[in-house]
Each structure stands twice: as structure tokens, then as C-alpha cells.
Chain A
Amino acid sequence: DTGVSQNPRHKITKRGQNVTFRCDPISEHNRLYWYRQTLGQGPEFLTYFQNEAQLEKSRLLSDRFSAERPKGSFSTLEIQRTEQGDSAMYLCASSLAGQGPHQPQHFGDGTRLSIL
């Protein structure tokens, strides 16, 4: 399977714990995005990387959230001191920059976070 891969698929944790999610993009894609989706809403942008550089962060991304893409391949999203409001589906997407003005983003199946 050469699509975007996200792990774990589902994470249940107690409030106050730290969690980390991993995303493996499509191998030749140099852009990687994180989104969050809550029930009944469309995905909302959190942050994105071009290669290893984090180019933009949404104001939704509080200081409890941190994302990395250390070698420009896989990425991790960490949430510290989780809160009830962090319960959501966390989606990762990747795309190829430099092949024309626009390229579609391709999504993984997400990590569903449930805070007890």
C-alpha cells in the first residue's frame, strides 16, 4: 500500500496524559499536513511541513501541541496534557509541491483520539 499511513488508528487515554501520533506520507511527497476533524464538521488545518521545515501553524494549535518532521519523511504530532476538547479525528495528508501550481492532498485514514 503506497498511500498515507497513520498510526495508531485509535487512541484512548485519560485526561492529562500525553499522546503521540505518527504519519507516513506517500513516499515522493514533500509536503505533509495535519488536520483535525470533529463530529459533523469538515477537517480543520493545524500545521504543515515542506520537507523538514514547518511552514505554518494554525492558531488552533495551542502550545500543548507540537509537530515534527525530522528528516522530511514521517511526521509526529504530540499533544501534551490532553483535555476533553482534544477528542477528535486527527488526519494527515501529503502532496507533491513543484509539479505545477496545485496538487491535490491525499489523506490517511486518521487517528481517532478519545479522552476519558
Chain B
Amino acid sequence: DQQVKQNSPSLSVQEGRISILNCDYTNSMFDYFLWYKKYPAEGPTFLISISSIKDKNEDGRFTVFLNKSAKHLSLHIVPSQPGDSAVYFCAATGVAAGNKLTFGGGTRVLVKP
């Protein structure tokens, strides 16, 4: 039972344009959501997070949107840069979920110069 899903395995975008990554979840106990970026041979790097009491959180070029009624979140990267090329993981957790992270399967982003 996949509680967190990223339905797009890959995304290709031109440098300078917007990248939009999507994530859906099923467990209503999740109340904290995170995005991680992963380069080959490295561990996931924390990017940005959002609590369920908010619907938007912004940090520089990265914005995360949360739609609780749809159990959907998205990550917007604008403008996209070649260094953003990586695999992006959506993760969810909550006190009722034991504080452990449940990850989606990842979306590979390629930013073309």
C-alpha cells in the first residue's frame, strides 16, 4: 500500500522555466510534508517542508503548495537551473505516524541548458 505517490517518474524542463513536481498521499494522519533532492551517490538533501496548518511555503526559488482536501502537494522550482537536475522525493510524516518519513518513489528532473 503506497501511502505517498509521485506519479511522474521523470520531468524535462528548459533552463529558466518552471519545474512542477507533484505528490499525492492517502494517509490522513500525515501532517508534515517534505521535499528532498538526491544526487547520485549522495544521500537525500532536505529542500523545503510544509506543515498541514499552511497551504504554501516559500524558500528562494522553491515553493511547496499543499491541498489537504485533495491530499496533494506540489513543488515549484522557478527559475530552473541545470544544477537542479536530480531526483526529487516527496515525504510525509506526523506524530501519529510515528515521526518516520514515508517517501514517494521519486521524480527525476533534467534541466536542459
Contact = CB atoms under 8 A, between A and B. Distances in A.
Interface residues of A, number: 27
Contacts of B91: 42
A22 interface: no
B85 to A, nearest CB: 17
Interface string A81-116: 000000000010100010001101111111000000
Contacts of B46: 104-107
Interface of B: 4, 31-32, 34, 36, 41-46, 49, 51, 89, 91, 93, 95, 98-106
A56 B99 CA distance: 10
Given A41-B105, A42-B89, A42-B103, A107 B32 contact: no
Nearest to A95: B99
Contacts of B104: 42
